[in-house]
Chains A and B, each alone.
Chain A
């Protein structure tokens, strides 16, 4: 018997289809069980935005999803700016943000008719790090950081190279040891870079007519694990990462205390929450309020996010939980927006 070419092709494609269907069958298998569970709200919730906030939202979604299997939900973290672009284009109903919305972004949103409510959900601290072997450096103030990392520090290969600039600025902790300085930090695309430039560099740079940026001659790294690794292996290193990455690797690196004008403060959950650690930033979610009336799943999701069970994921993801007054403020803001 000779089969025709057509028949063979059908079999060939068919077998590959079966192979692929094996993967798909597992998801289809959840269909019947869904009907047995208490009926959750149907709908879909797409979240985009900050990669810093993404781990929190992912944990909240996961807890929410098991109780609400009929809601299709997803989260991704391309960055705060990209997140607002999609949010204001109406593509997502919630966006994560590691900074407040910019005026230009708010204009885009209002031009598109997108109404939203801003809810602060956590704090993140920016930690300036060095190697645990670097005993000479324990605390730095903004002038120190500007002298060591600011735009005018380009070409400084040792810590002592910054002495002249530091003296000119009146930095408290100069002079520095005459040892090589190797800087590894997040790249310019990162929100963590932006926050550092805004909090530390901006005021001094504007006063001196310099650009609000860091020195260009450092090793920019997109992967925070690599930054921590580089900082720990070089005894006189310098760099910064988000607080969560420091907490995960606290045994490998040393956090430098920061003097924001009121004395040296060590970054910790307590000092970030009470506002005494100067390099802290709020983390937000922005919720689109236009379609709250039709999308009941969205209301349930944000209700859960701000509930005690939901907000507990902030600490689980390595970030700093809000003090009660700020959490209550977020809850009442959501209350008035959703009712």
Chain B
């Protein structure tokens, strides 16, 4: 039963003939605008303050700050190892997380029969996406650093990368599932209708249509992995004023033998240094982090748009 009475023609007439300016409506619109501004204001204040604090560093040292290695001496300190570590971790997430997540989602959506077991798995994946990242850090420490230490060589970038991969996998699976589900059933039926097999249907019809949405999800996932610090702290990334990988090390050794750090951890470490100069350096590192995040996102968005155009053609 609907308790409210439907508007009578009289009411409609009154509304049409009444004043154009309605106080409640404008108050509501004003309030909504204000809530938009309050969140924007915090963001702008934060950005402006960070940029203002960081400005002297970039003015004095320019890009040297980006290419210089970490140092306990604020006049020489740069963020090079942080950038390298963060990009390498992101690469891990892309190379392992993306194929694994998409494959899992294809199985769940296209192959799995809709039984109790599938629903159990789906519900769990959704719950996992909401687990705080620090919990994944503990998992990474127990699983990749300690238990599988023989394979990952302990506190290396392999362990950190795998930890972040596990962290983003549920989000990857959920967004891919949603993308696959949004492909109209008629597309599949038409494909089956002309005699295509299940895999041919998925590969040539379902995936191309779903791909732009899948890649949007990937952008969000990569951004998440890029900015994470808590899981890396636990999985053994360095929080340090200085470290040097051996110059003799090959690329494989750099990944499997040497310690690493990431940009968010550089920010964290610098914020607690005694010297006053590190306040500016911290802000400058935040700026580098933001610029990198935006450029990684922009690259993936550009690529996505390219695929989107292709698949429409």
Give A contacts to B, CB under 8 Å: 2-6, 8-9, 11-13, 15-17, 19-20, 22-24, 26-28, 30-31, 33-34, 42, 44, 46, 54-55, 58-59, 61-62, 65, 69-78, 91, 222-225, 244-245, 248, 317-318
Query: Which chain B residues in 240-275 approach chain A with CB under 8 Å?
Result: 240-249, 251, 254, 257-259, 271-275
Q: Which 4 A-B pairs have the closest CB atoms?
A: A34-B247, A74-B243, A72-B246, A58-B241
* Cross-chain contact A58 with B72 (CB below 8 angstroms): yes
Sample 6 A-B pairs with CB under 8 A, ordered by A number: A12-B215, A44-B257, A62-B71, A72-B244, A78-B239, A248-B275
Question: Is the CB of B73 closer than 8 A to any CB of chain A?
Answer: yes
* Cross-chain contact B274 with A245 (CB below 8 angstroms): yes
Chain A's closest residue to B71 (CB) is A62
Alpha-carbon distance A183/B77, docked complex (angstroms):
34
Question: Is the CB of B207 closer than 8 A to any CB of chain A?
Answer: yes
Q: Which residue of B90, B247, B310 contacts A8 across the interface (Cβ within 8 Å)?
A: B310
Alpha-carbon distance A16/B222, docked complex (angstroms):
10
A248 touching B73 in the complex, CB below 8 Å, given contacts A16-B300, A26-B80, A72-B246: no
Stretch in B6-14, B81-89, B165-173, B178-186 with 4+ CB within 8 Å of A? B81-89
Question: Is the CB of B296 closer than 8 A to any CB of chain A?
Answer: yes
Question: Is the CB of B98 closer than 8 A to any CB of chain A?
Answer: yes
Question: Is the CB of B307 closer than 8 A to any CB of chain A?
Answer: yes
Alpha-carbon distance A26/B239, docked complex (angstroms):
21
CB distance from A79 to the nearest CB of B (A): 12
Query: Which chain B residues in 255-313 approach chain A with CB under 8 Å?
Result: 257-259, 271-276, 296, 299-300, 303, 307, 310, 313
A8 touching B211 in the complex, CB below 8 Å, given contacts A244-B274, A318-B274: yes
* Cross-chain contact B259 with A74 (CB below 8 angstroms): yes
Give B contacts to A, CB under 8 Å: 67, 71-73, 80, 83-84, 86-88, 90-91, 94-95, 98-99, 154, 203-204, 207-208, 211, 215, 222, 238-249, 251, 254, 257-259, 271-276, 296, 299-300, 303, 307, 310, 313
List of B residues within 8 angstroms of A248 by Cβ: 274-276
> Which of B94, B154, B247, B259 gathers most chain A CB within 10 Å?
B247
List of A residues within 8 angstroms of B258 by Cβ: 44, 72
* Cross-chain contact B67 with A26 (CB below 8 angstroms): yes
Alpha-carbon distance A70/B98, docked complex (angstroms):
35
CB distance from A159 to the nearest CB of B (A): 28
* Cross-chain contact A71 with B242 (CB below 8 angstroms): no
CB distance from A75 to the nearest CB of B (A): 6
* Cross-chain contact A72 with B249 (CB below 8 angstroms): yes
Alpha-carbon distance A248/B273, docked complex (angstroms):
11
Alpha-carbon distance A225/B296, docked complex (angstroms):
34
Alpha-carbon distance A3/B313, docked complex (angstroms):
11
Chain B's closest residue to A66 (CB) is B244
* Cross-chain contact B307 with A8 (CB below 8 angstroms): yes
* Cross-chain contact B72 with A42 (CB below 8 angstroms): no
| Known interface pairs A13-B98, A248-B276; 8 further A-B residue pairs with C-beta atoms within 8 A, sorted by A's residue number | A9-B98, A16-B222, A31-B247, A55-B241, A61-B244, A65-B244, A75-B240, A223-B272
CB distance from A255 to the nearest CB of B (A): 15
CB distance from B174 to the nearest CB of A (A): 19
Q: Which residue of B84, B259, B299 contacts A15 across the interface (Cβ within 8 Å)?
A: B299
A76 touching B239 in the complex, CB below 8 Å, given contacts A8-B310, A19-B299, A318-B274: yes
* Cross-chain contact A58 with B203 (CB below 8 angstroms): no
List of A residues within 8 angstroms of B248 by Cβ: 31, 34, 42, 70
* Cross-chain contact B240 with A74 (CB below 8 angstroms): yes
Alpha-carbon distance A9/B310, docked complex (angstroms):
13
A20 touching B72 in the complex, CB below 8 Å, given contacts A61-B242, A75-B240, A75-B242: no
* Cross-chain contact A75 with B215 (CB below 8 angstroms): no
Q: Which residue of A5, A17, A23 contacts B84 across the interface (Cβ within 8 Å)?
A: A23
> Which of B71, B207, B246, B249 gathers most chain A CB within 10 Å?
B246
Alpha-carbon distance A266/B249, docked complex (angstroms):
50
List of B residues within 8 angstroms of A33 by Cβ: 247
List of B residues within 8 angstroms of A2 by Cβ: 310, 313
CB distance from B190 to the nearest CB of A (A): 17
Alpha-carbon distance A15/B307, docked complex (angstroms):
13
CB distance from A248 to the nearest CB of B (A): 5
> Which of A9, A23, A26, A42 gathers most chain B CB within 10 Å?
A23
Alpha-carbon distance A23/B239, docked complex (angstroms):
19
Chain A's closest residue to B94 (CB) is A16
* Cross-chain contact A73 with B84 (CB below 8 angstroms): no
Alpha-carbon distance A31/B238, docked complex (angstroms):
22
A59 touching B244 in the complex, CB below 8 Å, given contacts A5-B211, A8-B307, A224-B274: no
> Which of B207, B211, B240, B242 gathers most chain A CB within 10 Å?
B242
List of B residues within 8 angstroms of A31 by Cβ: 247-248
* Cross-chain contact B299 with A59 (CB below 8 angstroms): no
Alpha-carbon distance A2/B87, docked complex (angstroms):
31
Chain B's closest residue to A11 (CB) is B303
Alpha-carbon distance A225/B278, docked complex (angstroms):
11
List of B residues within 8 angstroms of A78 by Cβ: 239
List of B residues within 8 angstroms of A6 by Cβ: 203
List of B residues within 8 angstroms of A61 by Cβ: 242-244
CB distance from B69 to the nearest CB of A (A): 9
Alpha-carbon distance A24/B239, docked complex (angstroms):
20
* Cross-chain contact B211 with A15 (CB below 8 angstroms): no
List of A residues within 8 angstroms of B73 by Cβ: 59, 62
Chain A's closest residue to B248 (CB) is A70
